[in-house]
Amino acid sequence: MIAIAHPQIGPEEQEAVAKVLASGQLAQGKQVEEFERRFAELCGVTEAVAVSSGTAALHVALLAHGIGAGDEVITTPFSFAATGNTILLVGATPVFVDIEPDTLNIDPAEVEAAITPRTKAIMPVHLYGNPADMDRLMAIAEKHHLAMIEDACQAHAAAIRGQRVGSFGTGCFSFYPTKNMTTGEGGIVTTNDAAIAEQARLWRSHGQKVRYLHTGIGYNYRMTDIQGAIGVAQIEKLAGFTERRLANAAYLSERLGEYVRTPVVRPGHTHVYHQYTIRVPRERDAFQAALAERGVGTAIHYPRPIHKQPYYQERGFDKALPVAEQAAEQVLSLPVHPALAQADLETIAREVIALCR
């Protein structure tokens, strides 16, 4: 079976981890510091705060912006649940608005229509690694004095006219093993705002500016030096990984273009293909099963929009968001990761075409 994801771990990561283990400094230390410096550089921002997961990054970013009870955050329902869950975890209300039918990213017109006096932030997701329409979203945020928190968990090194995602507002990235780069588990918050970075550091570690002096409360969301060392090794390989993803996606688009639809990439946007996701207009689940029989692993991102999750339905979030709901019934992600061989790509294209005919 051709796997849908395949983390790229080599001798560089193994050696880096062995060194940390031998050093005795296992928790957050010099490796995390180095990783933060390198990741900030990658995004073109002044500050990066490494944490234990992408979910922790979203949570800490919301807390650092002072978002809490009584506040509303406008976001997309077509994402991993963490996007909505972290808004609920800080005591705020997620306001789900519909997505654009062509990109599957949050629709700026819907965002603007949903603003109320309680709105504090916009949280777009750069879905599948394809940047959301930040030109229009940033204009809306500035006009209404809203914070911008980018869920860039799938979009390492994605960009708009060369400007990296995670540098428009406060960026949140994940390093889960299936993502474009990994630290096992891990996440990071990126920002050009020193005050936001300082708040994020306090929330990451029990509100301590100095050890055992707690000016606030907080969590233990620290990244270990073991993860930091893997991250430094991975960041050196990221450009190569991204190149392979782009080449794999270009091959699939060339072969499949006349048979299937994929999300549109806006002019000037660099999509980093965390996922290569097609629309299967009819009987998607049977299509997926048939591909599995033919040796092609796939996944559905996502089978149920967040506002349709039982927890959210029970709490009155279940309104009609038809574009997201239709997408959830049709999307199917094909393997696009950097470990695919040319023969794998040919198999994927051949079997998808055979099922479309």
Q: Which of 36, 72, 100, 151 binds ligand PLP (CB under 6 A)?
A: 151
Residue 333 is a binding residue for ligand PLP (CB under 6 A): no
Pick the piece of the chain touching ligand PLP (CB under 6 A) from 69-77, 78-86, 105-113, 286-294.
78-86
Q: Which two tokens stand for residue 289?
A: 């099963």
CB of residue 35 vs ligand PLP: minimum separation in angstroms? Answer: 15
Strands 269-270 and 159-160: antiparallel
Q: Which residue number has the CB closest to ligand PLP?
A: 54
178 vs 208, which CB is nearer to ligand PLP? 178
Q: Which of 20, 82, 141, 229 binds ligand PLP (CB under 6 A)?
A: 82
Pick the piece of the chain touching ligand PLP (CB under 6 A) from 3-11, 76-84, 201-209, 292-300.
76-84
Least Cα distance to 132 among 124, 142, 140 occurs for: 124
Q: Are 125 and 83 in contact (CB under 8 A)?
A: yes
Cα–Cα distance, 42 to 271 (Å, whole number): 16
Site string for ligand PLP, 51-70 (x = CB under 6 A): --xxx---------------
Q: Which residues of 139-163 are buried (b: 16+ CB within 10 A; e: fewer)?
A: ebbeeeebbbbbbbbbbbbbbbeee
Q: Which one from 179, 209, 237, 308 is the annotated catalytic residue?
A: 179
Handedness of CA 65, 70, 72, 73 (dihedral sign): positive
Cα–Cα distance, 3 to 101 (Å, whole number): 28
275 vs 345, which CB is nearer to ligand PLP? 275
Give residue 256's identity as a one-letter amino acid code. L
Cα–Cα distance, 188 to 275 (Å, whole number): 20
31 vs 227, which CB is nearer to ligand PLP? 227
Q: Which of residues 157-176 bind ligand PLP (CB under 6 A)?
A: 174, 176
Q: Which of residues 116-135 bind ligand PLP (CB under 6 A)?
A: 125
Give residue 163's identity as a one-letter amino acid code. Q
179 is known as an active-site residue = yes
DSSP 3-state assignment of 270? strand
Pick the piece of the chain touching ligand PLP (CB under 6 A) from 65-73, 147-155, 311-319, 341-349.
147-155
Q: Which two tokens stand for residue 339?
A: 């470990």
Q: Which of residues 2-61 bind ligand PLP (CB under 6 A)?
A: 53-55
The residues annotated as belonging to the active site are 179
What are the residues binding ligand PLP (CB under 6 A)?
53-55, 79-80, 82-83, 125, 151, 153-154, 174, 176, 187
